Amino acid sequence: MIIVMQKGASQEALAEVEKKIVELGYQPHVIHGETRNVVGAVGDERGKEKLQALESLPGVERVVPILKPYKLASREVQPQPSAIEIAPGLAIGGKEFIVVAGPCAVESREQICETAVAVKKSGARLLRGGAYKPRTSPYSFQGMEEDGLKLLAEARELTGLPIVTEVVNPRDVELVAKYADIMQVGARNTQNFALLKMLGQLDKPILLKRGMAVTIQEFLMSAEYILSEGNRKVILCERGIRTFETATRNTLDISAVPVLKQHTHLPVMIDPSHATGHAHLVAPMCYAAAAAGADGLLVEVHPCPEKATSDGPQSLRPAEFQEMMDKLRAFAQVAGREMAG
């Protein structure tokens, strides 16, 4: 249920509504608007009639049921799009079209620092890099773990770029949180609900990737696990789904961008590298993502893709990334977005 407060309702009235929601056995989630506040009451729907009585409290304008199964992620509870602040002057979901770039896996100090300098020069606003790599084969490179996190921190110190890195195991959440500016949940962990609940207890942005066989509703329900624990800083990422097609690594569901924008206030990004699996297909999908209304991109960039320990075939070289960024600005502008640089 949504409790819509009257315009100009006092903080005392808001606090009383929160108190009553807790007494009824629900969790209150306050959303501060420009003109009025809204309180989401999340819990067992069987007792929602009790919440309807809150309409009689001072400062309450009306009580409205949330029809979607994903309550806090829905536009019913928050009609305006969310902008997730990453650092001062840097937010995902605002006017600026954000590009995150870097290698699939951190391999060495030279590799990650060289890449970080190159992508920043081209206009990337954040650095991506995997220190923990969930792989299909147990014999594939699994990442440098904490040593990789330390190298990412060095690259951030060198360039000023905030870092995005994946957390795979719930036991590593605390460690990864010490280093990461954004914690990524990969496609294989989209429905790892124990991990999602732990991330929901952090005050840190979470980049949630769509699973390879996950529907839009299931994707938003995964986001709901994080939101329901109190963390409102969730960013969605479409990275391709599994279909019968074999010409690409996955099938990029570009229509997921406007669909998600219709149903949720959360920012939406696109990962064209994992979606296509081929470097020559990445740039066209970057342009399509901007045109479709995405809030940003995750692009894999490596100084020497043929020597990459992970996902070399889909990684752009720095010069190719620069060319793509130069052309991307026009698409972002047509979509009403700005780009740095």
Q: How many domains does the chain have?
A: 2
Statement to judge: residues 174 and 256 lie in one domain: yes
pLDDT for 82 equals 95
pLDDT in tens, the chain (341 residues): 889 999 989 999 999 999 999 999 888 888 887 778 889 888 877 767 788 889 999 999 999 888 888 989 999 888 899 999 999 999 999 999 999 999 999 999 999 999 999 999 999 999 999 998 665 555 455 578 899 999 999 999 999 999 999 999 999 999 999 999 999 999 999 999 999 999 999 999 999 999 999 999 999 999 999 999 999 999 999 999 999 999 999 999 999 999 999 999 999 999 999 999 999 999 999 999 999 999 999 999 999 999 999 899 999 999 999 999 999 999 999 999 999 86
Give just the sign of the alpha carbon dihedral 2, 12, 22, 47.
negative
DSSP per position, 225-253: HHHHTT---EEEEE--B--S--SSSSB--
Domain that holds residue 56: 2-64
pLDDT for 141 equals 57
pLDDT for 275 equals 97
Least Cα distance to 102 among 39, 166, 47, 176 occurs for: 166
Q: Which amino acid is at 143?
A: G
pLDDT for 44 equals 75
pLDDT for 134 equals 64
Query: Given the DSSP bridges, would you call strands 84-87 and 90-92 parallel, antiparallel or unpaired?
Result: antiparallel
Statement to judge: residues 6 and 101 lie in one domain: no
pLDDT for 76 equals 87
Q: What is the pTM of this model?
A: 0.90
- In whole angstroms, give the CA distance from residue 171 to residue 202: 14
pLDDT for 142 equals 59
- In whole angstroms, give the CA distance from residue 273 to residue 207: 16
Statement to judge: residues 258 and 220 lie in one domain: yes
Kindly state whether residue 315 falls inside one of the protein's structural domains. yes
CATH code, 33: 3.30.70.1140
- In whole angstroms, give the CA distance from residue 66 to residue 60: 17
Statement to judge: residues 33 and 166 lie in one domain: no
Q: Which amino acid is at 340?
A: A
Kindly state whether residue 36 falls inside one of the protein's structural domains. yes
pLDDT for 226 equals 97
Q: Which amino acid is at 165?
A: T
Kindly state whether residue 77 falls inside one of the protein's structural domains. no
CATH code, 183: 3.20.20.70
- In whole angstroms, give the CA distance from residue 1 to residue 73: 13
Kindly state whether residue 75 falls inside one of the protein's structural domains. no
| Angle, helices 216-228/256-263, rounded to nearest 10 degrees | 50
**Token digits of residue 257:** 């961008």
Q: Exposure of 94 by Cβ count < 10 A (0-12 exposed, 13-18 middle, 19+ buried)?
A: middle
Longest dimension (CA), the chain: 67
